[in-house]
Each structure stands twice: as C-alpha cells, then as structure tokens.
Amino acid sequence: MSTPLQGSLLDGFGDTEFGSLRHARRTTLDHGAWVDVLPGWLSGADALFERLVDDVPWKAERRPMYDRVVDVPRLLKFYEEHEPLPDPALADARQALTEHYHRELGEPFRTAGLCYYRDGQDSVAWHGDTFGRGATHDTMVAIVSVGAPRALLLRPRGGGESLRYQVGHGDLLVMGGSCQRTWEHAVPKTRRSAGPRISIQFRPRGVR
Ligand SMILES: O=C(O)CCC(=O)C(=O)O
C-alpha cells in the first residue's frame, strides 16, 4: 500500500527527530482533565509516514451497529506491550514520552494503537478510552499525528461546549488526568478533501 503525502506536507526525508517536550503547552480542563499540545514535535515525519503506510499490517474491522454489521471507517493495528513496534522512531517516541511524563504518570507508556485515516471520510466517533483503567483512574493517552491535518474534538462527557484541536504532521497531543472518563474525544468526518493521516496513540498498561 502506498499513499504519497501531498507536497505541502513534505518536510524532507531525513531521520525522524524529536523536539523538547518541555515546550508542550498545557490546557487545564474541567473535572480534573488536561491536554498538552506540542505542534511539530516530530520532524522528518514524511519518511515515517510512508514507512508506516507500507510496513504496518493494517486491519479493516467490522462492528455491529443496531441490526447491521458495518465497516469501521479507518484501518487499525494495536501493538501490545511486548510486541515489537513497526518502526524504531515509535520506540524512540514512546521512550521520550515515558521519560518526560514518568514522574506525573508514575508508570511507562507501553502499548501503541495505530489508526490509518485514508481520507476525510474515515473517522472515529465520540468516545473515551474507558476499556480498562481509564474508566476509573486518572491516566494519560499520548497521540502523535503524521500525515494530513485533521480536527480532534474534545467535549465534556454529559454535554458542554466542544474544543477543537487541529492535529497536523508531527504534532503531539496528550490527554491527561481524568480526561478519558470525564471527557470524550472524536475525529469527525470532513467534507473538505483530506489526505491520509496516521494517529499513533501511546498508553500505559491496562488503558485502552
Ligand atoms: O485519531 C486520533 O488521534 C484519535 C484516535 C482515538 O481516539 C482512538 O483510537 O481511540
């Protein structure tokens, strides 16, 4: 599978490099949740994007919806904690995140969930990562985005105004505190033409 990035996204095909996580900007949300954002954390992300498109064994899933079974509108691959990651840059990213957040999180990031949004019609509906400890405990989910920019929305669970983050090529967004149980997030479909995007989510053990 090969889906080249559009020229506007090209940032050179050098090695993947990471900026300092000290530059991440935190927004405190209601109910004990917070979001850290660091645009352009990763440089040299074009080559990483291409390698992930080609090397990850992407899976198309189906799920029941009312009385039908429908395609999940994105491709997926989940790496359990002892499973080798598909690219050394992901191991480096996970290590850097663990080192930066360890004091606050109290444990390492372990798993990597990868989602491939092929175009603007691929999406994920409102949800929190509440299979596991995210339902009852504060935790963190760190998302690295490569490829076309997409909107990632956050809204308080139970209603309230939503926040919109545009996550672009090489950007980092970390959801922390109670975010998984008190807020929901989504990547909605877009009518605008959108190129392919890969989201890489790092989570601690038992959070999904
Ligand atoms: O695409 C993203 O960055 C969000 C992915 C997500 O929320 C999920 O897979 O649970």
- pLDDT, tens digit only, all 208 positions of the chain: 545 455 444 454 568 899 999 999 999 999 999 999 999 999 989 999 999 999 999 999 999 989 999 999 999 999 999 999 999 999 999 999 999 999 999 999 999 999 999 999 999 999 999 999 999 999 999 999 999 999 999 999 999 999 999 999 999 999 999 999 999 999 999 998 899 999 999 999 999 9
Going from the Cα of 11 to the center of ligand 1, the distance in angstroms, rounded, reads 24
pLDDT at residue 15, as a whole number: 83
Residue 188: which residues within 8 A CB-CB, separation 6 or more? 123, 151, 153
Enumerate residues lining ligand 1, CB below 6 A: 113, 115, 124, 129, 143, 152, 185, 187, 199, 201
Going from the Cα of 167 to the center of ligand 1, the distance in angstroms, rounded, reads 11
Q: Which atom of ligand 1 is nearest to the CA of 167?
A: 3
pLDDT at residue 20, as a whole number: 97
HSE-CB at 36 with a 13 A cutoff on CA atoms is 19
Specify the residue with its C-alpha closest to ligand 1, atom 2: 199
Going from the Cα of 134 to the center of ligand 1, the distance in angstroms, rounded, reads 14
Phi-psi region of 33 (alpha: psi -120 to 50; beta: other; left: phi over 0): beta
Q: In what order do the strands lie in the sheet with 141-147?
A: 25-28, 33-38, 171-177, 141-147, 197-203, 111-117, 68-79, 59-65
Q: Which atom of ligand 1 is nearest to the CA of 145?
A: 3
Going from the Cα of 179 to the center of ligand 1, the distance in angstroms, rounded, reads 13
Specify the residue with its C-alpha closest to ligand 1, atom 1: 199
pLDDT at residue 14, as a whole number: 62
Is residue 62 within 8 Å of 72, Cβ to Cβ? yes
Maximal C-alpha separation, the chain: 49
Euclidean distance between the first and final Cα of the chain, in Å?
Answer: 27
Specify the residue with its C-alpha closest to ligand 1, atom 9: 115
Going from the Cα of 124 to the center of ligand 1, the distance in angstroms, rounded, reads 7
pLDDT at residue 193, as a whole number: 87
Going from the Cα of 200 to the center of ligand 1, the distance in angstroms, rounded, reads 8
